[in-house]
Amino acid sequence: MISVKSAGEIAIMREGGRILAQVLEELMGGVRPGMSTLELDKSAEEKIRKAGAKPAFLHYQGFPNTLCASLNNEVVHAIPSDKKILKEGDILSLDLGLMYKGYYSDIARTVPVGKISKEATRLVEVTKKALQLGTAKARPGATLGDIGYEIQRFVESEGFSVVRELCGHGIGKELHEEPQVLNFGERKIGLVLKEGMVLSIEPMVTAGEWNVKLAKDGQTYLTRDGSLAAHFEDTVAITAQGPEVLTRLK
């Protein structure tokens, strides 16, 4: 069943989304060569709890940490480690969620570690733009296919690939709710969006083929061909005025 939120529920999610966006902004500002991904994880948990919220990912389906910190060819859900040290030229996808007053928010950004290659820069920029284009389609009367089509069309026109085996989702009282939000599709196909729905829209884009594989840790997804991957995500409310990004600072 697909949950439709009231104005009051969306107001709570807006508060939580702002907290989450602020935490991620601070984490991104601290990314530098020589630090471990575990340092970022510890900082994320501390900041979320200090703000009066709870980490969403900690112990969720066996995930042992607060932050997903995916490096280079890791697409999503990489476990932070003190052995994973950031190097100049890496790209790092930070995926973070929290629960605030009983409601979840989810966000992701891919950031450069120092100076990165032109290909990596373009991959990050294309993925960021794909999220913006997909989000713009999240309006009452549109379909999930409209969102997926817009993301896929743009990404593939830039010579990159959209991951097919992973997707976005509904969000609210549960971290993952119906519906699934695919990053590919056809216009005017699929669920018709209604005011009050809240979605996590999250294009995952690769520089090579779209196929992924699960690592031995049972959590991390990697590109099958070893190519770079980027990931951007926002929590978005469907309103009468159009899409409202809840995971933003203002």
How far apart are the C-alpha atoms of 91 and 241, rounded to whole Å? 35
* HSE-CB for 108 with a 13 A CA cutoff: 30
Q: Can you tell me the distance from the alpha carbon of 95 to that of 89, in angstroms, rounded to the nearest whole number?
A: 19
User: Hey, what are 181's tokens?
Assistant: 């939000």
**Any binding-site annotation on 125?**
no
Tell me which residue of 15, 41, 17, 16 sits closest to 27, measured CA to CA.
41
Q: Is 41 a known ligand-binding residue? A: no
Contact criterion met (CB below 8 Å) for 82 and 54: no
* 88 annotated among ligand-binding-site residues: no
217 is in an annotated binding site: no
Is 233 annotated as a binding-site member? yes
In 3D space, the residue among 80, 91, 89, 40 whose CA is nearest the CA of residue 230 turns out to be 91
* Distance, CA of 12 to CA of 21 (rounded, Å): 14
Using CA atoms, how far apart are residues 177 and 200, in angstroms rounded to an integer?
10
CA 59 to chain CA mean position, Å:
18
Residues placed in the known binding site for a divalent metal cation: 95, 106, 169, 202, 233
Residues placed in the known binding site for substrate: 77, 176
Residues placed in the known binding site: 77, 95, 106, 169, 176, 202, 233
